[in-house]
Amino acid sequence: MLDLTVVSPKRILFDDAVTHVFMDGDDSEYEILSFHAHLVGVLREGKIIIDNKKSIPIKKGIVRFYENRCSILVEELDAAVISNVS
């Protein structure tokens, strides 16, 4: 498990322990698992997929993974809604 926090300037979108998180990076895709190598990256428009269960649409953002804690600061899409992945 890793600790995941997804925040926008307006609110906390997600804050809980997860097994993995998947997102679109500026040059490629990221899949972060527990004890991943330390990382800082830029995110492009797309979705953050959490444990293949929840989806958060974003315009762009930045991700930092350090000491089994993943922090993601995002700009939300208008009327972004956290949804279940089908």
Instruction: List the structure tokens of 19.
Output: 């097994």
Beta 69-76 vs 2-7: how paired, if at all?
parallel
The structure's pTM equals: 0.90
For the chain, which domains are there? 2-84 (2.60.15.10)
Separation CA 47–CA 59 (nearest Å): 9
Residue 30, pLDDT > 70, answer: yes
Predicted confidence (pLDDT) per residue in 50-67, tens digit: 999 999 999 999 999 999
Separation CA 19–CA 11 (nearest Å): 23
Beta 29-33 vs 39-43: how paired, if at all?
unpaired
- Cross-strand partners of 70: 4, 65
pLDDT at res. 80: 60
